[in-house]
Structure 1
Amino acid sequence: MARTKEFDPEVALQAALELFWERGYEATSMSDLVGHLGIGRASLYATFGGKHDLYLKALRRYVENRDPSPVEMLSQPGPALPAVRALIEFYAEDAIRDRRRRGCMIVNAAAELLPGDERVAGIVDANWTGLETALTSALIRGRAQGELPGDRDPVALARFLLVFLQGLRLVSKGQPDPARLRDAAAQALAILN
């Protein structure tokens, strides 16, 4: 007779996500995971695979459960530029409020594991491509609605904003000077005028 699981895999996955987000992949050992999740090593392997498999699942969960979802923020009907501006302001203020200085788990994964980890690279690239596509779509819509001057290149502008937003997240992991982050966000907002 098969044993039933004595833990909730969804709760354990969320706990693993929090630990990886706090410490990073390399600094989180299997012993750390076993202790933090409160489950046996054999159960962890049987449910999630090895440490790397668990990390990939946690990284995917992080992407899927972003609240608010940047793509959803940019995809709302109506004027497009207010949504782009709101996203920039959200990233800046969220970085300022991040007292634990965890940053963005996607940015952390890129900084720690790329270019050497192809599976992490796939998740990071899909996330950044999705955000760039959503920004491009919003900016194209904004240009079509007369919110953005017709001579602006929505693709190039979206790429700039993607790089800016990810850089903002990385800078916030250091000493997140609110004035520095707000001034940078103001400059990014200014290019939308």
Structure 2
Amino acid sequence: MARTKEFDPDAALQSALELFWRKGYEATSMADLVEHLGIGRASLYATYGNKRDLYLKALDRYSEARAPGLTRELSRPGPALPAVRALVRRFAEESADEAYRPRGCLVTNTAAELAPHDPGAARRVELSWGHTETLLHAALLRAQAQGELAGDRDPRALARMLLVLMQGLRVVGKASDDPARVRDAAEQALALLD
């Protein structure tokens, strides 16, 4: 007869996500995970696979938790451009916040740390970025159709520019002590929507 798990796999995955988010993939050892989660190494391997598998599951959870909020923000009825502006400003404010800075964004962190040499991580980063770009593009198309955005603007190119800006805000915000740097960059980019 199979043994019953003596821990909550869902809670343990959330706890692993928090540890990876705080320390990064490379700096988190299996010993760190065993200690932080209070779960034996054999149980960790049996439930999640190796450290990379656990990290990718944690990254999936992170992305899945954030996707509905982003969709809600950019898909509300009414004027679309204010929602786009609010999202970019939120990214800037979060990136400039001292409490946020040590962890940053797990997707952005993964892009910098793992994506260049890990196809599974790169695929997840691309899915997250693709989702954000698609939502921005749809919002900008709506803004254009509603007369909020000039007809000669390219909504796809603007969505890509905003995605790159937002990811850049995450990187610079994590490393910079100057909150004006990310706020000013966001405002200059938003001026391109006028």
Fold in common (TM above 0.5): yes
Q: Which amino acid aligns with 2:116?
A: P
Helix, strand or coil for the counterpart of 1:168? Answer: helix
CA distance in 2, matches of 1:38, 1:112: 26
SS at structure 1 position matched to 2:112 = helix
Residue 189 of structure 1, CA deviation: 1.5
- The aligned counterpart of 1:49 is 49
Partner of 1:4: 4
How far residue 98 of structure 1 moved from its aligned partner, in angstroms, is 4.3
User: Is the CA contact (8 Å cut-off) linking 1:95 and 1:176 kept in structure 2?
Assistant: no
Identity of aligned residues (%): 65
CA distance in 1, matches of 2:81, 2:26: 39
SS at match of 2:174: coil
Which residue of structure 1 lines up, in the alignment, with residue 118 of structure 2? 117
Aligned twin of 1:173: 174
**Contiguous gaps of at least 5 residues in structure 2:** none
Contact 2:97/2:179 (8 A) holds in 1: no
Q: Determine the structure 2 residue equivalent to 1:84.
A: 84
- Aligned ranges 1:11-50 → 2 under 5 Å: 11-50=11-50
Bigger shift: 169-178 or 154-163? Answer: 169-178
Q: TM-score, normalised by structure 1?
A: 0.96
Structure 1, unpaired ranges of 5+:
none
Question: Structure 1 178/108 Cα, relative in aligned 2: closer, same or farther at 3 Å?
Answer: same
What is the letter of the counterpart of residue 103 of structure 1? Answer: G
In structure 1, the residue matched to 2:109 is 108
SS of residue matched to 1:70:
helix
C-alpha distance after superposition, 1:10-34 (max 9, x if no partner): 1100110011111111111100000
**Aligned partners of 1:88 and 1:185 also within 8 Å:** yes
After TM superposition, give the deviation of residue 162 of structure 1 in Å. 0.5
1:101–1:173 contact (8 Å) kept in structure 2: yes
Match of 2:189 in 1: 188
Q: How does 1:131-142 map to 2 (within 5 A)?
A: 131-142=132-143
Cα distance 1:16–1:106, how it changes in 2: closer, same or farther (>3 A)? same
Q: Point out the more displaced range, 134-143 or 65-74.
A: 65-74
Rounded to whole Å, the distance in 2 between the matches of 1:37 and 1:67 is 26
Q: For residue 3 of structure 1, report the CA deviation from its aligned partner.
A: 1.4
Question: Shift in Å at residue 188 of structure 1?
Answer: 1.5
- Residue 74 of structure 1: aligned partner: 74
- Paired with 1:72 and 1:163, the residues of 2 have a C-alpha distance of 21
Distance 2:15 2:181 in 1: 32
RMSD: 1.3
Q: TM-score under structure 2 normalisation?
A: 0.96
